[in-house]
């Protein structure tokens, strides 16, 4: 089973840059897109359906903002949109799909980069998201949580770990939350599990040729719990795929 998580920074913009052709060539089983910035009636969803995908959207109330989309060739047994928490669900941040032997959460964790108010909102989100996931995991232990977490975990995951300003995404409180996620939270970081010492990034600023100079951050993750870790075969980031300021994270599972 081939799974991709990809913040496309606007699905309509990414389609103009060849996203659909890349999907067609890659033949993924499941595609999780974040920051779609789109409502399903704003694009021709038949382009995905014609490739064999069923589409499940959680769009923000605010047009051109946030949003997640899960595309899957297998019809899920059930689909849940959002966390049933209005303050977050109005921003379009979660699609949960249940399959026969495993479950998948596609999440776009808020960015706090616009100021202290949004950082506080981000920390509220993760503090509510964590317990929601833990409750979910009790009933669905073979759980995969993919998406743009907007948080750097280790110093190995940022090109300049010595920076003193501690910007959003690299603040101590959010990194502590992610450390707990990967320890007592019971999740395994798929990429770091397979490559404990390798530095690969999933996001680069558009400024100053950051991508060409590989001055990036790793903030997109495929987290696995339960038996899914035992089925993990590969997980990599693909910097050369460029439809966005992020790159795709692709994992393969032997199911």
Active-site amino acid positions: 108, 148
Q: Which DSSP state fits 52?
A: T
User: Is the separation of the CB atoms in 107 and 82 below 8 Å?
Assistant: no
- In order of 150, 220, 242, the CA distances from 213 in angstroms are 21, 19, 15
Backbone angles phi and psi of 164, in degrees to 5: -95, -20
Residues ≥6 apart with Cβ < 8 Å to 11? 19, 33, 36, 37, 38, 43, 67, 69
Nearest CA to 187 out of 133, 107, 254 is that of: 133
Residues ≥6 apart with Cβ < 8 Å to 53? 31, 71, 72, 73
**52 φψ region: left (φ > 0), alpha (ψ -120 to 50), beta (else):** left
Angstrom distance (rounded) from CA 116 to CA 122: 10
Angstrom distance (rounded) from CA 115 to CA 146: 25
Angstrom distance (rounded) from CA 243 to CA 52: 21
């Amino acid at each position: 089973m081939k799974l991709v998580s990809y913040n496309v920074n606007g699905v309509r913009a990414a389609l103009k840059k060849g996203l659909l052709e890349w999907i067609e060539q890659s033949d993924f089983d499941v595609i999780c897109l974040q920051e779609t910035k789109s409502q399903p009636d704003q694009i021709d969803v038949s382009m995905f359906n014609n490739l064999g995908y069923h589409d499940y959207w959680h769009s923000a109330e605010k047009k051109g903002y946030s949003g997640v989309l899960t595309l899957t060739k297998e019809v899920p047994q059930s689909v849940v949109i959002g966390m049933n928490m209005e303050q977050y669900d109005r921003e379009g941040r979660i699609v949960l799909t249940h399959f026969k032997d495993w479950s998948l959460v596609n999440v776009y964790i808020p960015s706090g980069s616009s100021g202290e108010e949004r950082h506080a909102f981000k920390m509220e989100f993760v503090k509510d998201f964590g317990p929601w996931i833990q409750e979910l995991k009790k009933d669905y232990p073979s759980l995969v949580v993919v998406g743009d977490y907007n948080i750097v975990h280790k110093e190995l995951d940022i090109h300049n770990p010595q920076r003193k300003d501690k910007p959003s995404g690299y603040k101590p409180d959010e990194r502590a939350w992610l450390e707990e996620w990967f320890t007592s939270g019971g999740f395994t970081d798929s990429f770091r599990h397979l490559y404990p010492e390798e530095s690969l990034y999933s996001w680069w600023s558009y400024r100053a040729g950051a991508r060409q100079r590989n001055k990036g951050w790793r903030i997109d993750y495929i987290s696995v719990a339960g038996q899914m870790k035992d089925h993990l075969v590969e997980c990599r980031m693909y910097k050369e795929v460029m439809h966005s300021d992020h790159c795709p994270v692709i994992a393969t599972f032997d199911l």
